[in-house]
C-alpha cells in the first residue's frame, strides 16, 4: 500500500510540474470580443519581492544571522530514561533586509530558535 501511495504522489507531482508552464503560456493571450491580444509576461507576473523605499529600483534581499547558543534551562529527562537531564538551548535571530542596488537596509529581531538535547541514561 505504501508503494502505491508513493508512486501515485510521485506521478501527481510530476504531472503538476509539467502542466504549470502550459498555464503560463495560455495566460499570455487575453480573449476579448473574438480578438486575441498579446500581453507581455511582465504584466502577468506578480512580483513578490519588496521594492526598496530608498532608491525605488532595487529589491530588498533578506538574510539571517544567529547569536551563539546559550543554556536556557535544564530539566529532568523526559525521554524515558531513569537518570540524566534534558538541556534546552536558545539563540537569537536577526533578520536583515538590504537593497541589492543601493545597499540601504534595516535589521530587526526575529523569533529566537531553541533546541533540546537529551542527556538521559539508564544504569
Domain locations along the chain:
1-46, 48-123
* pLDDT greater than 50 at residue 34: no
- Give the model's confidence band at 45: pLDDT under 50 very low, under 70 low, under 90 confident, else very high: low
Res. 102: pLDDT tops 70: yes
> pLDDT at position 32, please?
43
Model pTM? 0.53
- Distance CA(81)–CA(118), nearest Å, equals 9
pLDDT in tens, 16-29: 655 544 444 444 34
Amino acid at each position: 500500500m505504501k508503494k502505491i501511495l508513493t508512486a501515485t504522489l510521485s506521478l501527481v507531482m510530476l504531472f503538476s510540474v509539467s502542466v504549470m508552464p502550459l498555464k503560463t503560456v495560455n495566460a499570455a493571450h487575453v480573449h476579448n470580443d473574438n480578438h486575441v491580444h498579446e500581453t507581455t509576461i511582465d504584466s502577468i507576473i506578480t512580483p513578490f519581492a519588496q521594492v526598496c523605499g530608498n532608491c525605488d529600483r532595487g529589491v530588498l534581499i533578506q538574510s539571517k544571522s544567529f547569536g551563539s547558543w546559550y543554556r536556557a534551562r535544564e530539566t529532568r529527562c523526559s525521554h524515558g530514561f531513569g537518570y540524566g537531564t534534558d538541556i534546552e538551548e536558545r539563540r537569537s535571530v536577526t533578520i536583515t533586509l538590504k537593497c541589492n542596488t543601493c545597499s540601504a537596509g534595516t535589521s530587526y529581531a526575529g523569533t529566537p530558535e531553541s533546541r533540546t538535547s537529551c542527556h538521559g541514561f539508564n544504569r
